[in-house]
Amino acid sequence: MSDKEPIGVDKVTIAYIVGGIPAIVGFVVILFTLVNLNPNIPA
């Protein structure tokens, strides 16, 4: 094996940062918004 990194690593990392992190943040925001709008939900 060579010491070079696989070609796809940079593209996958960029795709995760651009798409994954906002998706996680959006999920958390929507989750807390729904919980705040419906205070009678059992924990």
**pTM, whole model, 2 decimals?**
0.56
The single-letter DSSP state of residue 7 is T
The predicted structure's pLDDT at residue 5: 59
Ramachandran region, residue 32 (left: φ > 0; alpha: ψ -120 to 50; beta: rest): alpha
The predicted structure's pLDDT at residue 7: 60
The predicted structure's pLDDT at residue 2: 54
User: Which residue's entry shows tokens 């989750």?
Assistant: 31
The predicted structure's pLDDT at residue 28: 96
Summarised one tens digit per residue, pLDDT across range 22-36 is 999 999 999 999 888
Residue 8 pLDDT class (50, 70, 90 cuts)? low
What is the average pLDDT across 1-30?
81
